[in-house]
Amino acid sequence: MDDRSVYDYTRMFEEARQVDETSFLASILRKVYGWMAIGLALSGVIAWYTAMSGLGSRIMNSGAFMICIIAELVLVLALSWGIRKISAGVAFAMFLAYAALNGLTLSLIFFVYELGSIQKIFFLTAGMFGGMAIYGSVTKRDLQNVGAVFGMALWGIILLMLVNLFLRSERLDWAVSFVAVLVFTGLTAWDAQKVKLLASSIPSEERNQSTIMKLGVICALELYLDFVNLFLHLLRILGRRR
C-alpha cells in the first residue's frame, strides 16, 4: 500500500497557501500601520517644535507657507502616479518628506487652538480611526461602492472649500467640516479594506521586498491622509480656540 494515499495533498497545499497569504498580508499590514504611525509622529513633533520655537510665526507670515502647501501637493501626486517607476527607498523618503512638510503647515493649529483641546481631539480621532480601520480590515462586506460614494463626496468637499475661500461663509465652513468627518470616517474603513484587496491581487512571483515596501508606502499615505483630515475637521467642530 502506498502511504501517500492516506494524505489529502490538495488540502495540505491549500492550507500551506493560506498560511503564505496570511503571512504576506501580516507583513503588509505591519508596514502600512507602522509607517503611518511614523509619519504621524514625525508630523506631530515637527508641528509642535515649529510652533514653540517661533519658526511657525515666520512661516505663516511669509511665502514659505504656500511653498510648503504646493510642495506637499507635488509629493502626493508624484507618489500616487509614479509609485511603480520609483524605487521603494525613494518612495519611503518621499512619504517622510511629505509628513515633515505637513508638520510645518500643521503648526498653525497650535496658534488657533488650546493645547489641551488638541490633545483630546487627537485621541478622539485615534479612537474613531482605529475602530473604522479594524472594521474595514475584518468585515466580509464589500466596501468598494461605499468607497466610491465617499470618494465622489470628497471632490465635492474640495470644491466647496475652494468656493468658500471667496465666500468666507462660516456656516458653509462648519457644514463642510461635518460632512468631511463622515466622509473620512467612511474612507478610513474603505482604505483599510483596500490594503487587503491590493495585497491579495499581487501575484506570488512578484511578492518581493520592493513590492511590499511600495504597497506599504502608498497605503500608509492614504491612511495617513484619512487620519489627518479627520483630525482637522473634528478639531474645527469640537476644538476650543485660544
Question: What pLDDT sits at residue 6?
Answer: 46
Question: What pLDDT sits at residue 13?
Answer: 40
List, in sequence order, every beta strand (DSSP E) within the chain: none
- Kindly report, residue by residue over 17-71, the tens digit of the pLDDT: 454 577 788 888 999 999 999 999 999 999 999 999 988 888 888 878 889 999 9
Q: How far apart are CA 162 and CA 215, in angstroms?
A: 31
Question: What pLDDT sits at residue 206?
Answer: 76
Q: Around Cβ 156, how many Cβ atoms within 10 Å?
A: 12
**Residue 169 is placed in which grid cell?**
461663509
Question: What pLDDT sits at residue 15?
Answer: 43
The Cβ-side half-sphere exposure at 158, using a 13 Å CA radius, reads 8
Domain range annotation of the chain = 10-238
Which parts of the chain register pLDDT below 70?
A: 1-20
Which whole-number Å values give the CA distances from 191 to 23, 122, 162, 175, 235, in the listed order? 20, 20, 25, 24, 22
Question: What pLDDT sits at residue 169?
Answer: 87
Task: Give the whole-number percent of the chain exceeding pLDDT 90.
Answer: 61
Question: What pLDDT sits at residue 12?
Answer: 40
Amino acid at 204: S
Question: What pLDDT sits at residue 114?
Answer: 93
Residue with cell 506570488: 204
Which pTM does this prediction carry?
0.88
Question: What pLDDT sits at residue 20?
Answer: 58
